[in-house]
Amino acid sequence: MNLRDIHTPVMLERCIELLAPALEGPDAVLVDATLGMGGHTEAFLERFPDLHVVGLDRDTEALRIAGGRLAPFGDRVTLVHTVYDGIADAVASTGRPEVNGILFDLGVSSLQLDEAERGFAYAQDAPLDMRMDQSSGTTAADILATYSEGELRRIFERYGEEKLSARYARAIVAARAEGPIERSGRLVDILTKATPYAAQRTGHPAKRVFQALRIEVNRELSVLERAVPAALDLLTVGGRIVVLAYQSLEDRLVKRALAEASASTAPAGLPVELPEHAPRFRLLVKGAEQATEEERARNPRATPVRLRAAERIRPAHAKEATA
């Protein structure tokens, strides 16, 4: 299996360009918080000969594949099995108090999408698992079997922004009374039958429901809400963070976290901004950047991506107080 053929890292050159100023010094450390199959990490290790990368992933299969791919780099790579809201503990376990760069490539990985038996893709019939870490946790089938109609409607509305959430929740509850919903093919059939014909012409009926189930199974938004502030706290002055998000809910959380970090905390009306109220970060891109048309044509998975980035420009209060 040639990983370079099946896995094309999204916005790779732009990620390198944005993180490079923080990684060019000696003993620089980059945290790849969503390692996947290691495509981004491999490129960074090749470009920056003195760089050490701490790669995190909750998916044990991804860690196994990435470990093989990155083996030629020896002790320049540290792999950690963890969800990315455990980023602070993961970095602490390496004995490093701070890092120079952090990369998040959010959402479902190529590995998870391409392995039908994982149940992430509505286009392929498979067990409804959807766990990024298959060693523990609740599956999508468990959710479909145990959540009430109201709970199903809530996650479809919140995480899938699905307008037909009430109709779909009702159809699922009715269908499971006849037998458990354990495979993606059966769920797609239920959703399709519950979708008005006119709505079927605007997109696949299962797309948003599958997204919502995946987010609920993996607690993706609550994890992200904790992970980004924790990541920002780990960056040294001059350190940089880049986040690639693939759906609006993720991007809103990232946007809010970076906006708060790059805003003054001075009380309204204060005539002079005191140093402790100055922004801790500055934004490196205006709004959210998208992949170029050329990249979207070459790599369709880059189509929905939204990139945001920031640089730390002053230390935290605690460090100022002890300086």
Q: Which residues are annotated as a binding site for S-adenosyl-L-methionine?
A: 38-40, 57, 84, 105, 112
CA-to-CA dists, residue 252 to 102, 103, 144, 237, angstroms? 19, 17, 27, 25
- How many other C-beta atoms can be found within 10 angstroms of the C-beta atom of residue 107? 21
Residues in the chain, total? 323
Contact 231, 31 (CB under 8 A): yes
Write the DSSP symbol of residue 267. Answer: P
Please count the other Cβ atoms lying within 10 Å of the Cβ belonging to residue 20. Answer: 14
Query: 261, 272, 266: which is closest to 314 by C-alpha?
Result: 261
| Amino acid present at 83 | V
Give the residue numbers of the binding site: 38-40, 57, 84, 105, 112
Question: CA separation (Å) from 177 to 44, 74, 154?
Answer: 51, 54, 20
Query: 316-323 long-range CB contacts below 8 Å, 24 or more apart?
Result: 316/233, 316/280, 317/276, 320/275, 320/276
- Answer for the pair 144, 206: CB distance below 8 angstroms, yes or no: no
